[in-house]
Amino acid sequence: MKKFITAILMVAVFLVALCSCNSTPAKTYTCEEMAQSVLQSTQFPDMVKTDESMLSLIMDFSANGITEYSVYQQMMSVDLAELIIVRTEDTETVTSLLEQRKQSLIQQFAAYPEQQKSAEATVVGSKGNVCYLIACENAADAEKALKSLI
């Protein structure tokens, strides 16, 4: 009887181990996929994707181990909206550079009350190897959408 119970327990342990091996790993989203999801998560003005030249004004790609990025800015300068998502090996330095960018936005839009509100609501952060800056009125909501993908 003891051998029978032991055999049943061993089969149960084997089945549990087998089932846990079949779980699918979490999807790794590209910076562009994350950016598109963030842009759809809350109200942004018309946005345009920018190239490396805009991001290179903020940080040096080669020095900061940037492997991927996506950058969007407002289409018209009447609104303040900016989205920067960067995958990097050096999250500490890149987050610091994005904080400097936030301060620059606050200073740049200090004379415009509506835009200053968006500048001050800007969120900068990192999770894993992804760093981000989200400048818009609803930056906290957009950040929640982004963090759910990282």
The per-residue pLDDT for 107 is 92
- The rounded mean pLDDT for the chain is 83
CA neighbor of 47 nearest in space, from 87, 6, 79: 79
pTM of the model: 0.80
pLDDT for 61 beyond 90: no
The per-residue pLDDT for 76 is 81
The per-residue pLDDT for 106 is 92
pLDDT for 141 beyond 80: yes
CA distances from 41 to 10, 11, 24, 97 (A): 48, 46, 26, 25
Average pLDDT of span 35-55: 88
CA neighbor of 133 nearest in space, from 100, 108, 107, 111: 100
